[in-house]
Structure 1
């Protein structure tokens, strides 16, 4: 086949790359040091480039020639980077551990800038032409979130809409929907767009110390869709993980006897719809689609009956026979939910 000549531009991708540093190895596929990819389409040809994200995590690990910064499925000891990464055990009422800046999941466009993203409060600016790693941005300096999704949405004006969790902030745990503007006033061009970040809405967590894990959220013309699933993060376990010698992954648990709650935020009023909707317990990571039709919000997700999907991606399991490995997880199901929400009423 041939690439059409009208196809021009750069496709950026991100994902785990290096899983072995010196004599040490990561346990999980999602732990690997981020590897940036670019595909440049020009005049019917494509040019490939890749480069490791030079995060603080990368630099610290490479300098030590071993894994010294903990990741999702790998807890590292000892940690000589404590001047970079906060201690993993602190007073719960004041703080929780700071996480890695190994942003290995997605690429986000903010105005004219591009950022590698993960699921922590850190993102890393990159040069889309050279894949050079630039400054680190801490969401927490602009909005009180400790973790955030790596799958933001963009509105018609190019503004970013994203969600993050604020853990035990002033005695409350909540989910925050926030907006990052695509442009800033002319007189503030030299300032970061993050300085103009706006909290759109907050949703109280149903549990102070067990907030829901979420990888994505949905959006339609008039609503933001947030699914609060009974796949939860145990804050006490997370705050003590380092001293107990366990991974962040062990701090996640699925409660099959709980409900899955749907939250809808009106994009115009910036308030949550008062009617409560719920369904049986499930685990999901990705939205497929969302739209409105005849007074209903319709959204599709890929759902699982438990949280065993992560087990498939431990490297010890990935080295097994594929058919044997797939037996470790529940079969994914495409589920559609049709919710009666009449916007103009």
Structure 2
């Protein structure tokens, strides 16, 4: 299994036609683009962590029942510097490189804490985001790289910080019905005034490709509870009228980060887990653009992925994938991933994810009794209790165990929904199953195949869809069976029966996230 993670992958820059088994729906027209680490060794140097590997984009293009595959490394500045030096010379989050030829952030004296934030890598290896009419490879810093979704060519680098004061930003934005994009990031401002900024990037179609960024607005500002230790976060939630941000006690120590280079430690070591602290639940009203005055909290947890959120009878319901601690990140250090299945169980424990549902009462009377459950909707075991300190303490309900990389029919984003499509996580550090979770009756449908490792499933709705699960699921599947080619899997989302697969004679890699771009959204202007 270790070779699935540590071996460098060969790119396939020219499109190759896949061999089809079964049938690919002819209505499926567009491109599935995925992003993830593909190069882990450069010269004699090796990245410490799987999430540090150089970004390798790959795509599956659907044309009238045929599928064409290609892959290209993101030609970031980081890629170019490393390849030219034939060694890792640009630091990543889990790997500090010495010497780093990039801008030395400590070359000048700094008077404000903001200058202690490093000039991060532009190795945008996590996801694909749409801003305006264009598509970008992204990670969790302010840099994004525009790409051509058809050719996978790397285009210009965009620094979000040139438009809004963000040092970090998520790779999981949200889109509204008008095509506007919402994202959240951390601003390490002057004199330690650290805050979280929710940013709205509008859809604009002039010739200026950066017009959407020039016209973006700070939608809401939320001060950090710990100004020198902002929360780590990977995503956030959104409903019709609210935005949900979880400020969790998994924190980035800014002072430690400022001296990491000199102390010879990586930036990941600057993340600290504080299990005795609260998780603060910030609810932002999308109409007023203000945080609700009621203070909500829950126990310490670590969340990477929100699933969905909606409103029902004056309550806000939101579902997340939660962990009891921060051990997931530790699992993906390459030294830990060398452990066999039984060694995982005997050695360091890694907590399993849970799909948890929170129910937040939005109308809370000032005279509400202390220690009384104020959740007033049926069919949930989630609780909310007002405490002496004025906070409303929220206890979630566990919907499902052991699932990650959740996706939904995005037409139901922010609305009451029924189905979650996800990956099943077992003792291996990568998923072995794709599952469909029915929230209404708590049932599961599963797909698995021996020696196959499926990526995050992506839902694509059918053109005549009437029900939430009318459509297909797409998943890039890497096989460790030497007698079998890796393939793109197409499942009927309703029945979970395989409709077809597109096998390719190429070096597919385990990826992280991506998106399906319908043919009508593919711009001809690059």
* TM-score after normalising by structure 1: 0.94
RMSD over equivalenced CA pairs, Å: 1.7
**2:176 equivalent to 1:155:** yes
* Structure 1 residue 324, shift from structure 2 partner: 2.8
* Structure 1 residue 98, shift from structure 2 partner: 1.5
Correspondence for 1:228 among 236, 244, 247: 247
Q: Which runs of 5+ in 1 are unaligned?
A: none
Alignment of 1:73-88 (within 5 A): 73-82=94-103, 86-87=105-106
Larger Rg: 2
What is the SS of the residue equivalent to 2:146? strand
**2:62 equivalent to 1:20:** no
* Structure 1 residue 294, shift from structure 2 partner: 1.0
What is the SS of the residue equivalent to 1:236? helix
* Structure 1 residue 192, shift from structure 2 partner: 2.7
**1:201 corresponding residue in structure 2:** 220
Alignment of 1:1-345 (within 5 A): 1-82=22-103, 86-87=105-106, 91=110, 92-95=112-115, 96-183=117-204, 189=208, 191-325=210-344, 328-342=349-363
In 2, distance between residues paired with 1:309 and 1:23?
27
- Asked if the contact 2:113/2:188 (under 8 Å) is kept, the reply is no
* Structure 1 residue 87, shift from structure 2 partner: 4.4
Q: Could you give the per-residue CA deviations for residues 116-142 of structure 1, whole angstroms, max 9, x where no partner exists?
A: 000011000001111110100001110
Q: Which moved more, 1:289-298 or 1:334-343?
A: 334-343
Cα pair distance change 1:192/1:276, threshold 3 Å: same
Q: Which runs of 5+ in 2 are unaligned?
A: 1-21, 365-526
- Asked if the contact 1:88/1:242 (under 8 Å) is kept, the reply is no
**Using CA pairs below 8 Å that are at least 6 residues apart, which structure has the higher relative contact order?**
2
In 1, distance between residues paired with 2:108 and 2:265?
13
What is the SS of the residue equivalent to 2:183? strand
In 2, distance between residues paired with 1:272 and 1:190?
32
In 1, distance between residues paired with 2:151 and 2:169?
26
In 2, distance between residues paired with 1:132 and 1:256?
43
In 2, distance between residues paired with 1:237 and 1:70?
16
What is the SS of the residue equivalent to 1:158? coil
Cα pair distance change 1:256/1:88, threshold 3 Å: farther
- Asked if the contact 2:114/2:188 (under 8 Å) is kept, the reply is no
Q: Could you give the per-residue CA deviations for residues 214-256 of structure 1, whole angstroms, max 9, x where no partner exists?
A: 0000000000000000000000000110011100110001101
Cα pair distance change 1:245/1:231, threshold 3 Å: same
* Structure 1 residue 180, shift from structure 2 partner: 0.7
Q: Which moved more, 1:318-327 or 1:42-51?
A: 318-327
- Asked if the contact 1:89/1:242 (under 8 Å) is kept, the reply is no
In 2, distance between residues paired with 1:230 and 1:276?
16
Q: Could you give the per-residue CA deviations for residues 306-337 of structure 1, whole angstroms, max 9, x where no partner exists?
A: 11111110111112213433653112122110
* Structure 1 residue 189, shift from structure 2 partner: 4.4
- Asked if the contact 1:61/1:67 (under 8 Å) is kept, the reply is yes
- Asked if the contact 1:168/1:208 (under 8 Å) is kept, the reply is no
Cα pair distance change 1:334/1:62, threshold 3 Å: same
Q: Could you give the per-residue CA deviations for residues 122-181 of structure 1, whole angstroms, max 9, x where no partner exists?
A: 000001111110100001110111000010000110011000001133541100000111
In 2, distance between residues paired with 1:330 and 1:8?
39
In 1, distance between residues paired with 2:74 and 2:148?
11
In 2, distance between residues paired with 1:90 and 1:139?
24
What is the SS of the residue equivalent to 1:243? helix
- Asked if the contact 2:114/2:192 (under 8 Å) is kept, the reply is no
Cα pair distance change 1:23/1:88, threshold 3 Å: farther
In 2, distance between residues paired with 1:217 and 1:148?
11
In 1, distance between residues paired with 2:342 and 2:222?
41
* TM-score after normalising by structure 2: 0.63
* Structure 1 residue 183, shift from structure 2 partner: 1.1
Q: Could you give the per-residue CA deviations for residues 170-222 of structure 1, whole angstroms, max 9, x where no partner exists?
A: 541100000111115x5x74653110010000000001101000000000000
* Structure 1 residue 89, shift from structure 2 partner: 8.5
